Structure 1
Amino acid sequence: MHVPDGFIDAPLSAAAGVVAAGALAVGLRGARRELDERTAPLAGLVAAFIFAVQMLNFPVAAGTSGHLLGGALAAILVGPWTGILCVSVVLLMQGLLFADGGLTALGVNITDMAIVTTVVSYAVFRGLVKVLPRGRRSVTVASFAAALLSVPAAAVAFTLIYAVGGTTDVAIGKVATAMIGVHLLIGIGEAAITALTVGAVIAVRPDLVHGARGLQQRLKLRVNGELVDAPGPEAALPRAAAGTARAPHHRKVWITGLVTSLVLAGFVSFYASASPDGLEKVAGDQGIDRKAEPHAAADSPLADYGVKDVSDARLSGGLAGVIGVGATVVVGTAVFRVVRRRRDASAESSSRPSSQAV
């Protein structure tokens, strides 16, 4: 659903840029609360994984394909504020390096694909988790439903944006019907990918899933006639030893996720559907793309997810995918490391007065 340059007029594109910038500023503050020793190392990896899976277009109807948007997946794994930043990093890398999604439309894409999908999916997810039985299966079910609804929500958001600032004269009713219809089908694929990924992480490390926190009940012990929480498995270890014990598990999850992303982007992506995605198909059928403009980065060495001057299509696409995953994980990790350091610095400065008073 990457909106190219020329679909939306300049005033609304600028307004969407302001909205996106404001949301990212708020997201940075929110991410400081969400990122901790468990999620901070994984946030950049989540962005890289979303980048990789977005290269895997899957067929949804005759001549139409879809791909993961990723808002629901990111929000459930690392938190909604961090999720907005994850998807925004992906969109930035795609626009700058791969000429995917217009640069003047970057604000529109962030608003639609990062903000709308994350906010809608996480609201649905939290609502379902509250009413479903406590447990891992409920988290997976809620993930499926949240991701399923997030995609048509993004289609509705694009339709509203187009109704206000579209550059072509197309009946908005036809745009809405076509966009929502095809993206309901794409939502099924989004839901399956999200539920499978969240379920896989929960099976290995449920403590790393932001959306699953607070759902596990601690074992109770009766002490002097009162029920108290049983100590966790790390309680018997000194803090340093417990931290050392957890580190390899974090590293194992990180390495597994990175290798999976590289394989998906570098190899599996070659077998992705070549059909236009939902927005491209609707734009072509309804005439939305009549005023589309060439991408400012069309001459990029990685434009259209291929390496320039590499003639072999399989090798060119695979190298581009690997480079994209590597660049996204580096940029994402750097962003979230800075956010985490600011949180730690803020916490340290706020604790100094009380320690001095003592």
Structure 2
Amino acid sequence: MHVPDGFFDAPTSIATGLIAAGAVGVSLQRANRELRETGPALAGLTAAFVFAVQMVNFPVGAGTSGHLLGGALAAALVGPWTAVLVMSTVLLVQGLLFADGGLTALGTNITLMGVITVIVGYFVTRALLQALPKRVGSVVPATTIGALVSVPVAALAFTGLYAVGGAVEIPIGKLATAMVGWHILVGLGEAVITAAVLSAVVATRPDLVYAARHLQKDLVLVDADGNTSTVAPDRPIAPKPAGRSLGVGVAFTFLIAGVISLFASAHPDGLEFVGAKLGFESAAKDSAVASSPLADYGVSGIGNTQVSGALAGIIGVLVTIAVGLAIAKLASIRSAARTE
């Protein structure tokens, strides 16, 4: 659902830019508590993983494809405030290095995919966890439904923005029906990916899942004299080292970006498909960085498309990890400065 330049008029793009900047600014201030629990390394890895999986478009039928948005998954793993930073990092790297999404539309993309999907996904997850059994495993179905709902809601939000400042006049009812209809199908794919990833993490390292921390059983600690004490799971005294788990996650992320992405569907995604059908795709303008050496997820100068695509994916993962870690560190510094 990466919106290109040209789909919206200047006032709408400026407005979404201000919304995105405000959301990122607030998240930089509020993410410190989440980062103390999950750590900046997990935030960086989550950003890189979302970047990698977004490279893998899956077919949804009738010559259309979709890809993970990732807001609900990121919120479950690292918390909602950090998730906004994670998604903004992914969209920033995609827009600046890979010409994926317009630069003037960066605020729109962050608003739709980096804010709305996080908010909707997280609050649906939290609401369902109030009704489901109070156990760690409940996080998987709750977040899966949150992921499913978040995608068509983001599509509906796009429709609302288009009604306000769309470049080409089209029937808004038809746009809403097409966008929501196709993105329900994309949402099903999002739900499957979210369920698979969270199931694997919850089964092996539930302590690395932000949404599961309050559902873990209290830790019973025994000292040398045999005295016992209970510690809440969200404040563990000696959590298991995460280095090996994060290493496995990094390796799997490289595998997705460097190998699996080469088998992605070549069909247009839901937004591109709807744009072509309803006649507003022609309003799209090339990104200002369309001549980037990494544009369209390939490395210029390398003739072999497989090697070029794999190398671009690997570079993207490395850059996303670095930027994600830097932003997480900045959030920690800003929060520490505010409390002094």
Interval containing the TM-score (normalised by the shorter chain)? over 0.9
Mapping of 1:72-221 within 5 angstroms?
Answer: 72-218=72-218
Deviates most, 306-315 or 36-45:
36-45
In structure 2, how many angstroms separate the alpha carbons of the residues matched to 1:341 and 1:107? 24
Give the TM-score of the pair, scaled to structure 1.
Answer: 0.89
Give the C-alpha shift of residue 118 in structure 1: 0.4
Check if 1:286 corresponds to 2:278: yes
- CA separation of 1:117 and 1:232: change in aligned 2, threshold 3 A: closer
User: Which 4+ residue blocks in structure 1 deviate beyond 6 angstroms?
Assistant: none
Task: Tell me if the contact between 1:39 and 1:208 (Cα under 8 Å) persists in the aligned partners.
Answer: no
Give the C-alpha shift of residue 250 in structure 1: 1.1
In structure 2, how many angstroms separate the alpha carbons of the residues matched to 1:93 and 1:231? 40
- Give the corresponding residue for 1:329: 321
Give the C-alpha shift of residue 299 in structure 1: 0.3
- Give the corresponding residue for 1:354: none
Task: Tell me if the contact between 1:5 and 1:292 (Cα under 8 Å) persists in the aligned partners.
Answer: yes
- Give the corresponding residue for 1:311: 303
- CA separation of 1:232 and 1:295: change in aligned 2, threshold 3 A: closer
In structure 2, how many angstroms separate the alpha carbons of the residues matched to 1:269 and 1:282? 24
Mapping of 1:238-249 within 5 angstroms?
Answer: 242=238, 246=240, 249=241
Secondary structure at the counterpart of residue 31 of structure 2: helix
In structure 2, how many angstroms separate the alpha carbons of the residues matched to 1:32 and 1:49? 21
In structure 2, how many angstroms separate the alpha carbons of the residues matched to 1:175 and 1:231? 52
- Give the corresponding residue for 2:13: 13
Mapping of 1:10-49 within 5 angstroms?
Answer: 10-36=10-36, 38-49=38-49
Task: Tell me if the contact between 2:147 and 2:191 (Cα under 8 Å) persists in the aligned partners.
Answer: yes
In structure 2, how many angstroms separate the alpha carbons of the residues matched to 1:341 and 1:161? 35
Check if 1:260 corresponds to 2:255: no
**What's the C-alpha RMSD, in Å, of the aligned pairs?**
2.0
Give the C-alpha shift of residue 40 in structure 1: 2.3
Matched to 1:251, the amino acid is: G
Larger Rg: 1
Deviates most, 23-32 or 90-99:
23-32
Matched to 2:78, the amino acid is: V
Task: Tell me if the contact between 2:71 and 2:118 (Cα under 8 Å) persists in the aligned partners.
Answer: yes
Deviates most, 101-110 or 200-209:
200-209
Give the TM-score of the pair, scaled to structure 2.
Answer: 0.94
Secondary structure at the counterpart of residue 36 of structure 1: helix
Could you report, residue by residue, the CA deviation over 1:31-50 in whole angstroms, capped at 9, with x for unpaired residues?
Answer: 12211153322001100000
Q: Which runs of 5+ in 1 are unaligned?
A: 222-227, 350-358
Deviates most, 212-221 or 39-48:
212-221
Count of residues paired in the alignment = 333
Matched to 2:69, the amino acid is: L
- Give the corresponding residue for 1:61: 61
In structure 2, how many angstroms separate the alpha carbons of the residues matched to 1:291 and 1:232? 54
In structure 2, how many angstroms separate the alpha carbons of the residues matched to 1:232 and 1:12? 46
Q: Which runs of 5+ in 2 are unaligned?
A: 222-227
- CA separation of 1:229 and 1:56: change in aligned 2, threshold 3 A: same
Give the C-alpha shift of residue 345 in structure 1: 5.1
Could you report, residue by residue, the CA deviation over 1:115-167 in whole angstroms, capped at 9, with x for unpaired residues?
Answer: 10000011100000011001122111101100000000100000000010000
Secondary structure at the counterpart of residue 152 of structure 2: helix
Task: Tell me if the contact between 2:298 and 2:305 (Cα under 8 Å) persists in the aligned partners.
Answer: yes
- CA separation of 1:80 and 1:38: change in aligned 2, threshold 3 A: closer
In structure 2, how many angstroms separate the alpha carbons of the residues matched to 1:220 and 1:343? 32
Deviates most, 315-324 or 134-143:
134-143
Matched to 1:96, the amino acid is: L
Matched to 1:259, the amino acid is: A
Matched to 2:90, the amino acid is: V
